Amino acid sequence: MPNPAPAAVTWRSRTPAVVVLAVLIAGLAIAFTDILEYLVFKAWGKEEYSHCYLIPAVALFMIAVRSRELTAVPWTGSPWGLALVGVGFVLLAISRLSAVYTLGEIGLVIAIWGCFLAVLGPRAVHTIWPALLYLAFMVPLPDFIGFRMSTQLQLWSSQLGVLVIRAAGIPVFLSGNVIDLGVYQLQVAEACSGMRYLFPLASFGFLCASLFTAPAWQRIVLFLSTAPITVLMNSFRVGVIGILVNRWGIEQAEGFLHDFEGWVVFMACVGVLFLEMAVMARLSGRRLLKSLQLDTPPLAELGRMVTAPRAPALTVTALAVTAALAISAGIAGSRPEMIPERARLVTFPLVMGEWRGEDVPVNQVEVDSLQASDTLSLAFARPNDVASVAMWISYYDSQRSGRSVHSPAVCLPGGGWQVESLEPFEVPDVRADGAGLTVNRGVVRMGNEQLLVYYWFPQRGRMLTSEYVVKWYIFWDGMTTGRSDGALVRLVTPVTPTENLEQAEERLQAFLRAVDPKLAYYLPPGEAPAAAVADASP
């Protein structure tokens, strides 16, 4: 009778798997040092992301809560974990070449997921996937997306806040983000947009949803409800500030009281989340406290998770691969950025043929918020012209780390201007060789005032009209040339009551033809490679 086939044996090291996992993640920390430094010392320093410091610790707590389930399944490891680690390092390399930090941040999270998958295997990772997904909240939104979101939230907060003020019987006029109370005017600035509540509340809502024992649809609704809760509560706060300012003065909108109101509103948002969970639990015939997984296992259970499972051979391979990638990534470092030489905008000429210019004061707080390397604000006029042309230039010698041009398509509505039309438009015969220039042409109105606006984005030799294409070329040129400098040029002229739109158009186009040759001295050109994508509308 033949002997039975021997059972398959999976070789395992004597090292606890958790120790190997910790070594793997330590290797990632070395490889992603520049990304971690940017997150910890810059990105998370912003108020809307200050909660991110707690996310790794909270993720560990979420794993500890499920330690009993985690140790009940075999830790088999998976080769797909190595693939995820490789994807993370590819994103790190692209991030360093292109100076797009967000790619490196995403790569770090994916690499951490890969380490867990390589050590634990699919079944174990499935047990703790909410904790791993929670790590994604460490990654801030790209600044141009965050800026657009903030601007839209400002408008909603202003509009709903005015409804609260009017409900209190106070007459008020709203122009964009400016709330006019007669004696006082309130500017609903970026700090009052609600972004400082949205991200902390969204991450807290995800945590509550993951610990809430309830049907899937209830947990999804709980998480998604954080957005409308933020908007409504922040709008209520704006309205209350308006009421207090109307009765007791502008001091109510400044200093400690302003910040204290922010904390009160955020805690009220948290209270609404708990009330929502209590209602959902009651609908299912449960009590809220019985529906939350808040009881951590005993220390003995946690100790078994740390010491009992042994690392499979695949994990040892993962350790070697990650160590090699970490060393190579550390040696590679980041590509130094090229900053081109140029003339400062302060030397821009005030006389161009028949055009005469003068400085136009700007709000320094708004200028500082742009984080531009150089700015220029001038107004030019010709003899016998009924109106002038205002020119604004913001230049960035580097558009890394979130410092980049902001589109007027986003800013103008915040100032109270209603956009009647906005589309790409080619102005003929602008260049010395007779070529035209494609700009964004906008017509905006506020009450009886009407403005004609041209703007475009000079980017290392390209004249672009789409903010999204600008972001693509920052990435592309960062990899191919090491440059990320760029600018915004905006020209504005009023349509006066004594003229029509065509006359204002003639004035703006005449000025554009006069100023275009001068811009080359202040906005560095670049040898543009073959276009990787086509430009698009704003």
Query: Each residue of 176-230: pLDDT tens digit?
Result: 667 777 666 666 655 555 677 888 999 999 999 988 888 888 889 999 999 899 8
Decide if domain 345-519 falls under CATH 3.40.1000.
yes
Percent of the chain with pLDDT over 70: 79
Q: How confident is the model at residue 314 (pLDDT cuts 50, 70, 90)?
A: low
Which has more confidence, 367 or 61? 61
**d(Cα 537, Cα 467) in Å, to the nearest integer?**
9
pLDDT at 18 (0 to 100): 79
Query: Each residue of 133-175: pLDDT tens digit?
Result: 999 999 998 776 777 777 777 778 888 888 888 888 888 877 7
- Find, among 244, 79, 236, 243, the residue nearest to 172 by Cα: 243
**d(Cα 88, Cα 100) in Å, to the nearest integer?**
14
Torsion (CA) 275, 276, 281, 282 in degrees, nearest 10: 70
**d(Cα 222, Cα 212) in Å, to the nearest integer?**
10
pLDDT at 255 (0 to 100): 53
Q: Which residues pair with 310 in a beta bridge?
A: 16
**pLDDT at position 520 over 50:** yes
**d(Cα 221, Cα 201) in Å, to the nearest integer?**
14
Fill in the DSSP letter of residue 338. P
Q: What is the CA radius of gyration of the chain?
A: 29
Q: Average pLDDT in the 265-280 region?
A: 89
Query: Each residue of 325-367: pLDDT tens digit?
Result: 666 665 555 566 788 888 899 999 999 989 999 999 887 777 7
Give the phi and the psi of residue 77 in degrees, each rounded to 5. Answer: 75, 170
Query: Each residue of 75-87: pLDDT tens digit?
Result: 887 888 888 888 8
**d(Cα 443, Cα 420) in Å, to the nearest integer?**
5
Q: Indicate where the chain has its CATH 3.40.1000 domain(s).
A: 345-519
pLDDT at 379 (0 to 100): 95
Q: Average pLDDT in the 256-260 region?
A: 54
- Find, among 477, 456, 443, 482, the residue nearest to 535 by Cα: 456
**d(Cα 51, Cα 361) in Å, to the nearest integer?**
37
- DSSP states of 201-252: HHHHHHHHHHHB-S-HHHHHHHHHTHHHHHHHHHHHHHHHHHHHHHHH-GGG
Least confident range of 25-39, 380-394, 407-421, 491-505: 407-421
Give the chain's mean pLDDT.
Answer: 81
**d(Cα 158, Cα 147) in Å, to the nearest integer?**
16
**d(Cα 78, Cα 80) in Å, to the nearest integer?**
5
Which has more confidence, 16 or 347? 347
**pLDDT at position 529 over 60:** no
**pLDDT at position 411 over 50:** yes
**pLDDT at position 276 over 70:** yes
**d(Cα 191, Cα 188) in Å, to the nearest integer?**
8
Q: How confident is the model at residue 313 (pLDDT cuts 50, 70, 90)?
A: low
pLDDT at 325 (0 to 100): 65
Q: What angle do CA 177, 183, 189 make, to 5 degrees?
A: 25
Cα atoms found within 13 Å of the Cα of residue 496, Cβ hemisphere only: 9
**d(Cα 401, Cα 144) in Å, to the nearest integer?**
11
**d(Cα 111, Cα 292) in Å, to the nearest integer?**
30
Whether residue 179 contacts residue 161, with contact meaning beta carbons closer than 8 Å, is answered with yes
Q: Which residues pair with 446 in a beta bridge?
A: 449
Give the phi and the psi of residue 424 in degrees, each rounded to 5. Answer: -65, 145
pLDDT at 492 (0 to 100): 95
Give the phi and the psi of residue 458 in degrees, each rounded to 5. Answer: -70, 120
**pLDDT at position 296 over 80:** no
Which contiguous run of DSSP H or E holds residue 257?
Answer: helix 255-283
Place of tokens 């740390």: 306
Quickly count: other Cβ atoms within 10 Å of residue 430's Cβ.
21
Q: Average pLDDT in the 416-425 region?
A: 84
Question: SS3 of 253, please?
Answer: helix
pLDDT at 130 (0 to 100): 93
**d(Cα 507, Cα 493) in Å, to the nearest integer?**
8
Give the phi and the psi of residue 341 in degrees, each rounded to 5. Answer: -80, 150
**d(Cα 47, Cα 199) in Å, to the nearest integer?**
10
pLDDT at 331 (0 to 100): 54
Give the phi and the psi of residue 421 in degrees, each rounded to 5. Answer: -155, 150
